[in-house]
Amino acid sequence: MFLSLPTLTVLIPLVSLAGLFYSASVEEDFPQGCTSTTSLCFYSLLLPITIPVYVFFHLWTWMGIKLFRHN
């Protein structure tokens, strides 16, 4: 069963925040060691940046569909 959008809107940032805190507690050189793509720390910093970009483009697409339908 798929999760609803409001549930995902709350769940995804919480999971990314938990990953960020986990990386901060496990990695010894947390901010400087996040440059390698093999590091979990890299993805825990990438995810909070990716989510707002995804939401922006999702809303942009939705707005385009709404405007196309009404014109």
Query: Could you give the CA distance from residue 61 to residue 38 in angstroms, rounded to a whole number?
Result: 32
57 inside domain: yes
| C-alpha closest to that of 19 among 52, 46, 51, 38 | 46
Residue 26 belongs to a domain: no
Asked whether residue 63 is domain-assigned, the answer is: yes
Q: What's the number of domains the chain is made of?
A: 1
Classify residue 42: in a domain, yes or no.
Answer: yes
Per-residue pLDDT of the chain (71 residues; tens, 9 = 90+): 567 777 777 787 787 778 777 777 777 777 676 777 777 777 777 777 787 788 888 888 888 888 887 66
Which domain covers residue 59, as residue numbers? 3-21+32-68
pTM: 0.46
Phi, psi of 36 (to 5 degrees): -85, 135
